[in-house]
Amino acid sequence: MKAQDLAPYIDHTLLKPEARAEDVVRVAEEARQYGFATVCVNSCHVATAARVLAGASAVPIAVVGFPLGAMLPQAKAFEAREAILAGAREIDMVLNLGALKAHDYQRVHQDIAAVVEASHPVPVKVILETGHLTDEEKVVACALSKAAGAAFVKTSTGFGPGGATVKDIELMRAVVGDEVGVKASGGVRSAEDAVKLIRAGANRLGASASVAIVSGQISTAQY
Protein backbone atom coordinates (compact mmCIF):
# COMPACT_ATOMS: atom_id res chain seq x y z
CA MET A 1 0.00 0.00 0.00
CA LYS A 2 1.47 3.33 -1.10
CA ALA A 3 1.17 6.55 0.91
CA GLN A 4 -1.16 8.14 -1.63
CA ASP A 5 -3.50 5.12 -1.39
CA LEU A 6 -4.24 5.89 2.26
CA ALA A 7 -6.40 8.99 1.69
CA PRO A 8 -9.77 7.14 1.55
CA TYR A 9 -9.08 5.70 5.02
CA ILE A 10 -8.41 9.05 6.68
CA ASP A 11 -10.68 11.28 8.75
CA HIS A 12 -8.82 14.60 8.34
CA THR A 13 -9.05 16.07 11.81
CA LEU A 14 -9.06 19.51 13.43
CA LEU A 15 -10.20 19.43 17.06
CA LYS A 16 -8.05 22.08 18.74
CA PRO A 17 -10.20 24.33 20.90
CA GLU A 18 -8.51 27.41 19.45
CA ALA A 19 -9.34 26.43 15.85
CA ARG A 20 -10.85 29.29 13.82
CA ALA A 21 -13.28 29.20 10.91
CA GLU A 22 -10.44 29.86 8.48
CA ASP A 23 -8.60 26.82 9.86
CA VAL A 24 -11.67 24.67 9.23
CA VAL A 25 -11.89 26.00 5.67
CA ARG A 26 -8.24 25.08 5.08
CA VAL A 27 -8.70 21.55 6.40
CA ALA A 28 -11.87 21.03 4.35
CA GLU A 29 -10.12 22.26 1.21
CA GLU A 30 -7.27 19.82 1.91
CA ALA A 31 -9.81 17.02 2.17
CA ARG A 32 -11.19 17.92 -1.26
CA GLN A 33 -7.69 18.13 -2.73
CA TYR A 34 -6.32 14.86 -1.34
CA GLY A 35 -9.50 12.76 -1.31
CA PHE A 36 -9.75 12.13 2.43
CA ALA A 37 -12.82 10.24 3.64
CA THR A 38 -14.07 12.95 5.98
CA VAL A 39 -13.29 16.10 7.92
CA CYS A 40 -13.66 15.72 11.70
CA VAL A 41 -14.35 18.92 13.67
CA ASN A 42 -16.02 20.18 16.81
CA SER A 43 -19.76 20.61 16.39
CA CYS A 44 -19.55 24.42 16.28
CA HIS A 45 -17.57 24.13 13.03
CA VAL A 46 -19.71 21.56 11.22
CA ALA A 47 -21.67 24.09 9.18
CA THR A 48 -18.44 25.64 7.88
CA ALA A 49 -16.99 22.25 6.96
CA ALA A 50 -20.24 21.21 5.29
CA ARG A 51 -20.31 24.38 3.19
CA VAL A 52 -16.77 23.88 1.90
CA LEU A 53 -17.30 20.15 1.29
CA ALA A 54 -20.56 20.56 -0.66
CA GLY A 55 -20.35 18.29 -3.69
CA ALA A 56 -17.13 16.59 -2.50
CA SER A 57 -16.72 12.91 -1.68
CA ALA A 58 -15.51 13.85 1.83
CA VAL A 59 -18.20 14.46 4.43
CA PRO A 60 -18.20 16.33 7.77
CA ILE A 61 -17.93 14.52 11.10
CA ALA A 62 -18.90 16.15 14.40
CA VAL A 63 -17.46 15.04 17.73
CA VAL A 64 -19.99 14.83 20.56
CA GLY A 65 -19.40 14.90 24.32
CA PHE A 66 -15.83 15.75 23.45
CA PRO A 67 -13.24 15.21 24.84
CA LEU A 68 -14.32 13.98 28.29
CA GLY A 69 -17.53 12.04 27.66
CA ALA A 70 -18.82 13.07 31.10
CA MET A 71 -22.03 14.73 29.92
CA LEU A 72 -25.64 13.76 30.36
CA PRO A 73 -26.90 11.35 27.68
CA GLN A 74 -29.57 13.91 26.80
CA ALA A 75 -26.89 16.54 26.22
CA LYS A 76 -24.92 14.24 23.93
CA ALA A 77 -28.07 13.31 22.03
CA PHE A 78 -29.02 16.98 21.63
CA GLU A 79 -25.54 17.89 20.40
CA ALA A 80 -25.66 15.04 17.89
CA ARG A 81 -29.05 16.14 16.53
CA GLU A 82 -27.94 19.75 16.21
CA ALA A 83 -24.70 18.75 14.52
CA ILE A 84 -26.59 16.67 11.97
CA LEU A 85 -28.92 19.59 11.27
CA ALA A 86 -25.77 21.67 10.65
CA GLY A 87 -24.50 19.13 8.12
CA ALA A 88 -22.68 16.35 10.01
CA ARG A 89 -22.84 13.00 8.22
CA GLU A 90 -21.04 11.01 10.91
CA ILE A 91 -20.90 11.41 14.70
CA ASP A 92 -17.92 10.52 16.90
CA MET A 93 -19.02 10.40 20.55
CA VAL A 94 -16.98 9.84 23.73
CA LEU A 95 -18.39 7.17 26.01
CA ASN A 96 -18.92 7.67 29.74
CA LEU A 97 -15.57 6.55 31.13
CA GLY A 98 -16.59 6.95 34.75
CA ALA A 99 -19.61 4.70 34.30
CA LEU A 100 -17.46 2.11 32.53
CA LYS A 101 -14.87 2.18 35.33
CA ALA A 102 -17.69 1.79 37.89
CA HIS A 103 -19.04 -1.26 36.01
CA ASP A 104 -22.31 0.59 35.45
CA TYR A 105 -22.71 -1.06 32.08
CA GLN A 106 -26.39 -0.26 31.73
CA ARG A 107 -25.57 3.44 31.96
CA VAL A 108 -22.79 3.11 29.37
CA HIS A 109 -25.12 1.27 27.00
CA GLN A 110 -27.93 3.79 27.47
CA ASP A 111 -25.53 6.69 26.87
CA ILE A 112 -24.39 5.25 23.55
CA ALA A 113 -27.86 4.15 22.52
CA ALA A 114 -29.25 7.65 23.12
CA VAL A 115 -26.77 9.12 20.64
CA VAL A 116 -27.30 6.31 18.13
CA GLU A 117 -31.06 6.87 18.25
CA ALA A 118 -30.73 10.65 17.98
CA SER A 119 -28.34 10.33 15.05
CA HIS A 120 -30.16 7.69 12.98
CA PRO A 121 -29.48 7.04 10.12
CA VAL A 122 -26.15 8.86 10.48
CA PRO A 123 -23.48 6.41 11.72
CA VAL A 124 -22.01 6.81 15.21
CA LYS A 125 -18.45 6.02 16.28
CA VAL A 126 -17.78 5.46 19.99
CA ILE A 127 -14.47 6.82 21.30
CA LEU A 128 -13.20 4.51 24.04
CA GLU A 129 -10.17 6.57 25.14
CA THR A 130 -8.13 3.36 25.32
CA GLY A 131 -5.24 4.99 27.18
CA HIS A 132 -7.44 5.10 30.29
CA LEU A 133 -8.64 1.50 30.01
CA THR A 134 -7.47 -1.98 30.88
CA ASP A 135 -7.76 -4.67 28.21
CA GLU A 136 -10.82 -6.04 30.01
CA GLU A 137 -12.45 -2.60 29.96
CA LYS A 138 -11.65 -2.23 26.24
CA VAL A 139 -13.40 -5.54 25.56
CA VAL A 140 -16.46 -4.50 27.54
CA ALA A 141 -16.57 -1.05 25.91
CA CYS A 142 -16.43 -2.60 22.43
CA ALA A 143 -19.15 -5.12 23.27
CA LEU A 144 -21.43 -2.43 24.72
CA SER A 145 -20.85 -0.16 21.72
CA LYS A 146 -21.77 -2.94 19.32
CA ALA A 147 -24.85 -3.88 21.36
CA ALA A 148 -26.00 -0.24 21.41
CA GLY A 149 -25.89 0.01 17.62
CA ALA A 150 -22.65 1.91 17.05
CA ALA A 151 -21.20 1.74 13.55
CA PHE A 152 -17.57 2.02 14.74
CA VAL A 153 -15.43 1.83 17.83
CA LYS A 154 -12.57 4.32 17.99
CA THR A 155 -9.41 4.35 20.09
CA SER A 156 -8.78 7.87 21.30
CA THR A 157 -9.71 11.55 21.42
CA GLY A 158 -6.11 12.67 20.99
CA PHE A 159 -6.50 14.61 24.24
CA GLY A 160 -6.08 11.68 26.63
CA PRO A 161 -3.10 9.45 27.45
CA GLY A 162 -1.61 7.41 24.64
CA GLY A 163 -3.13 6.83 21.23
CA ALA A 164 -3.78 4.12 18.69
CA THR A 165 -1.67 0.95 18.95
CA VAL A 166 -1.59 -2.18 16.83
CA LYS A 167 -2.37 -4.26 19.92
CA ASP A 168 -5.51 -2.26 20.70
CA ILE A 169 -6.73 -2.35 17.10
CA GLU A 170 -6.29 -6.12 16.98
CA LEU A 171 -8.20 -6.48 20.25
CA MET A 172 -11.03 -4.18 19.18
CA ARG A 173 -11.40 -5.93 15.82
CA ALA A 174 -11.49 -9.33 17.53
CA VAL A 175 -14.35 -8.17 19.78
CA VAL A 176 -16.56 -6.40 17.22
CA GLY A 177 -15.94 -8.77 14.30
CA ASP A 178 -16.70 -7.67 10.76
CA GLU A 179 -20.05 -6.03 11.55
CA VAL A 180 -18.61 -2.91 13.20
CA GLY A 181 -15.84 -0.60 11.98
CA VAL A 182 -12.65 0.15 13.90
CA LYS A 183 -11.10 3.61 13.83
CA ALA A 184 -7.51 4.20 14.92
CA SER A 185 -6.86 7.73 16.14
CA GLY A 186 -4.19 9.40 18.21
CA GLY A 187 -0.54 9.42 17.21
CA VAL A 188 -0.94 8.37 13.57
CA ARG A 189 1.89 10.42 12.06
CA SER A 190 3.23 8.53 9.03
CA ALA A 191 2.24 6.22 6.21
CA GLU A 192 4.10 3.45 8.03
CA ASP A 193 1.95 3.98 11.14
CA ALA A 194 -1.18 4.01 9.01
CA VAL A 195 -0.40 0.80 7.14
CA LYS A 196 0.40 -1.09 10.36
CA LEU A 197 -2.94 -0.05 11.87
CA ILE A 198 -4.91 -0.96 8.75
CA ARG A 199 -3.26 -4.37 8.64
CA ALA A 200 -4.18 -4.83 12.31
CA GLY A 201 -7.86 -4.29 11.51
CA ALA A 202 -8.56 -0.56 11.30
CA ASN A 203 -10.75 0.55 8.43
CA ARG A 204 -10.64 4.25 9.31
CA LEU A 205 -7.84 6.46 10.62
CA GLY A 206 -8.20 9.75 12.49
CA ALA A 207 -5.29 12.13 11.95
CA SER A 208 -4.36 15.79 11.85
CA ALA A 209 -1.15 14.75 10.06
CA SER A 210 -3.15 13.55 7.04
CA VAL A 211 -1.31 15.58 4.40
CA ALA A 212 2.08 14.42 5.70
CA ILE A 213 0.86 10.81 5.78
CA VAL A 214 -0.27 10.73 2.15
CA SER A 215 2.85 12.66 1.09
CA GLY A 216 5.16 10.05 2.59
CA GLN A 217 6.41 12.35 5.33
CA ILE A 218 6.52 12.01 9.13
CA SER A 219 4.65 14.60 11.19
CA THR A 220 5.17 15.78 14.76
CA ALA A 221 1.42 16.39 15.19
CA GLN A 222 0.01 15.05 18.45
CA TYR A 223 -3.38 13.77 17.22
Active site residues: 92, 154, 183
- Cα-only R_g, the chain: 16
| Alpha carbons 219 and 185: distance in angstroms, whole number | 14
Question: For 40, phi and psi rounded to 5 degrees?
Answer: -110, 120
Cα torsion for 51, 33, 211, 20, to the nearest 10°? -20
> Which residues, including other chains, have CB under 8 Å from residue 66's CB and lie 6 or more apart?
15, 42, 92, 93, 94, 127, 157
Contact 178, 151 (CB under 8 A): no
> Which residues, including other chains, have CB under 8 Å from residue 169's CB and lie 6 or more apart?
155, 182, 184, 197, 200, 201, 202
